[in-house]
Structure formats: structure tokens, C-alpha cells
């Protein structure tokens, strides 16, 4: 599967065809470093000064390379497709082979970093409940005040959590109505389309 870049990213990466092989390889390694450690502005300024380029051009180039690497690793693009994707940017065959070898050696690390940065939403595990009804007190005879005691078990990543909740019947009805609406919304065509694009 060939990685398709939009025009904006192609504009950011078109400078690669004008740079020497060693410079392109260094930018590629810098982009991998920035994916794992975050962007270092002093390194960007140094690179811009050495190459006599504007800082914004170097920033755009690094952003474009980081996007190229992250998307390729996320979509698990193989060596051949990555090679063809880079060739569409106008890079020479020699540079392309070098970049493919760097990508293949760092693809696993990039995927691990992307997995760490991705959201791990809280997931429902179990719900225990008990109905408590207060039938009377010393001052009020013949009253009935039902409420529910809930223990909600959830997990997030590897950790498990447990919350103890108490609610009365009107709040419980409101809660179930809200959850029903959310469930119906999650089944809608629009929501499913968004979730497909996120994955």
C-alpha cells in the first residue's frame, strides 16, 4: 500500500530532492529522534544555520518527515511501499535505499512510541449493585426511601479501578436514559464513520 501524502506535506518534503545524501540521512535520523524525545528547537536552529535555510523551512521538513515516519509505521507499510512512497518525492534511488534501511530498523521503536502516546480509554469490566430501602426512622414512620449502592469496576491499560457510588431512583433513571442515548449515538452511521477513520 502506497502512502499518499497531501499537497501540504509534499510541499514540506520537496526540499529533500535538493539536499545531499548525508544531509537527508541526518534529517531522517533527527526526525526519528524527535518522535521519541520531542522537538529540540536548538537542533533545528543549528541545522538551519549550517544549511543556510530559513528556520521555518527546516521545521516544516522535520514535521513532514515525522508525519511520513509515523504514518508509515502506523499503517505498517512494508519496505517496497515505503521505497515507492519516497520515490514520489523526487529523491534519488541511492538516498531512497538508505532511508528505507533506517525506516525498517526503527519501525518497531516508532510503533511502540505511537502506542504509548495513544489514548487508552477507561473500559467497563463489571457492576455490582445493592438496593437499600429505608423503611422508617424514629421521627418518620412509614417512609420508603430506596437508593442503590453501586460498585463500578473499570480498567485502563493494565490497571484496574473500582468506584463506589450511591444514587437515588430519579438519578438512576436519568443515568440510564443518558447511557441509552449515548449507546444509540454510538450506533449511528456518523459515529461509526468517525471511529473507522480514527483507527
pLDDT by residue, tens only, the chain of 199 residues? 677 778 888 888 888 888 888 888 888 888 888 888 888 888 888 888 888 888 888 888 888 888 888 888 888 888 888 888 888 888 888 888 888 888 888 888 888 888 877 777 889 899 999 988 887 777 777 777 888 899 999 998 788 999 999 998 899 899 899 999 999 998 888 888 887 777 5
User: If you ran DSSP here, which 8-state letter would residue 6 be given?
Assistant: P
| Cα–Cα nearest to 147, from 163, 165, 159 | 165
pTM, rounded to two decimals: 0.62
Contact 142, 136 (CB under 8 A): yes
Q: Which residues pair with 92 in a beta bridge?
A: none
DSSP 82-148: HHHHHHTTT--HHHHHHHHHHHHHHHHHHHHHHHHHS----EEEEEEEEEEEE---SS--S--EEEE
Alpha-carbon distance 176 to 162, whole Å?
20
Contact 104, 80 (CB under 8 A): no
CA torsion sign, 49 to 50 to 54 to 55? negative
Backbone angles phi, psi at 130, to 5 degrees: -145, 135
Amino acid at each position: 500500500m502506497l502512502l499518499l501524502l497531501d499537497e501540504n506535506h509534499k510541499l514540506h518534503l520537496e526540499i529533500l530532492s535538493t539536499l545531499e545524501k548525508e544531509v537527508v540521512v541526518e534529517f531522517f535520523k533527527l526526525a526519528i529522534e524527535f518522535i521519541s524525545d520531542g522537538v529540540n528547537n536548538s537542533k533545528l536552529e543549528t541545522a538551519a544555520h549550517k544549511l543556510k535555510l530559513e528556520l521555518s523551512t527546516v521545521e516544516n521538513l522535520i514535521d513532514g518527515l515525522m508525519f511520513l515516519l509515523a504514518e508509515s509505521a502506523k499503517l505498517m507499510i512494508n519496505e517496497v511501499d515505503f521505497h515507492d512512497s519516497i520515490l514520489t518525492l523526487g529523491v534519488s534511488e541511492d538516498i531512497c535505499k538508505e532511508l528505507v534501511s533506517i525506516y525498517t530498523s526503527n519501525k518497531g521503536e516508532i510503533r511502540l512510541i505511537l502506542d504509548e502516546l495513544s489514548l487508552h480509554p477507561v473500559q467497563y469490566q463489571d457492576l455490582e449493585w445493592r438496593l437499600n430501602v429505608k423503611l422508617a426512622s424514629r421521627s418518620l414512620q412509614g417512609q420508603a426511601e430506596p437508593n442503590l449502592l453501586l460498585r463500578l469496576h473499570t480498567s485502563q491499560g493494565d490497571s484496574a479501578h473500582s468506584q463506589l457510588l450511591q444514587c437515588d431512583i430519579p438519578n438512576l433513571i436519568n443515568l440510564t436514559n443518558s447511557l441509552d442515548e449515548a449507546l444509540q449515538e454510538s450506533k449511528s452511521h456518523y459515529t461509526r464513520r468517525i471511529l473507522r477513520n480514527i483507527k
